[in-house]
Amino acid sequence: MNKPADGTVGKALSVLDEVAQFGRPVRFGELLAQSTHPKASLYRFVQTLTNQGMLSHNPETGTYTLGLRLVKLAHSAWKQASLSTVARPYIEALSLQVNETIHLAQMDAGQVVFVDKLRANDRFETMAQTGMVAPAFCTGVGKVILANMTPERRDRALQQQAFLPYTPNTHISIASLLPELEVICTDGVAFDREEHETGIISIAAPLKTNGGRIIGAISIATSTTRHTLDSIQAFRADLLATANSIGEEATNWQFPSVT
């Protein structure tokens, strides 16, 4: 007889997933409202994860975020996947070309993991940092990966989205997001229209092997004080050329398929 796959460890890991899906510091009450665990069990998991450094607790605000230990583990895991090593020379060149911030991302369990970041200047900063987990439904890199997934994988990933309203521009449902994914699929690029951070916009392209397998995404991110959604269209050709070069370089490497 097979044992249940989740067990105690699986349940604790599901709590980490729930915290990550908020994409911001979360109170215990908010976590409890959407969790499938009873209050006593959830509290025990949260305390254990905090003690182990997988979660971080801010006593002043009473909120929890992903802990530094988890971030370090995630960064190490994705670094070993080598996509950042393959892509680094190309994103360095792109950053110099456009003089803007470049994000390199992959997807795991429906969430975006930033595996590299290059800042061309210090005039603005984005929340994304190497090793950080972010929502897919409201980021340029996340939406362009979702748009290029197989229908089965996309449906599974969409069910893993929290659809929290980070800004007035954020999609808050699958029904709202799907039409844009169809446009992205046809257009070849995705835009973040201040959907995750107010004042930050981006244009993103998918990273595909020569066989068409989606392995990640890159984006050019900037602030609304520097560019508009119209003006970042000028980056499209350079972005797509860079994405194509990374995809060709990565074709013979073994990278995990996005899930």
Please report, for the chain, the start and end positions of each structural domain, with discontinuous segments joined by +.
7-66, 72-250
Give the pLDDT confidence of 86-145 residue by residue, as tens digits.
899 999 999 999 999 999 999 988 999 898 898 876 666 676 677 778 999 999 999 999
- With CA atoms as reference, report the closest residue to 18 among 138, 162, 163, 232: 162
- What does pTM read for this prediction? 0.69
pLDDT recorded at residue 71: 73
CATH fold group of domain 72-250:
Beta-Lactamase (3.30.450)
Tokens of 13: 């890991």
Rounded CA-CA distance 33/158 in Å is 20
Tokens of 69: 């230990």
Residues facing 218 on adjacent strands: 104, 205
Q: 40-62 b/e with 16+ CB inside 10 Å = b?
A: eebebbbeebeeeebbbbeeeee
Place of tokens 């013979």: 252
pLDDT recorded at residue 81: 57
- With CA atoms as reference, report the closest residue to 104 among 122, 123, 126, 124: 126
Share of the chain above pLDDT 90, in %: 66
More confident residue, 198 or 120: 198
Give the pLDDT confidence of 137-196 residue by residue, as tens digits.
999 999 999 999 999 999 999 999 999 999 999 999 999 999 999 999 999 999 999 999
Query: By the 8 A CB rule, do 13 and 33 touch?
Result: no
Which CATH code for domain 7-66?
A: 1.10.10.10
- Sign of the CA dihedral with 144 first, then 147, 150, and 153 last: positive
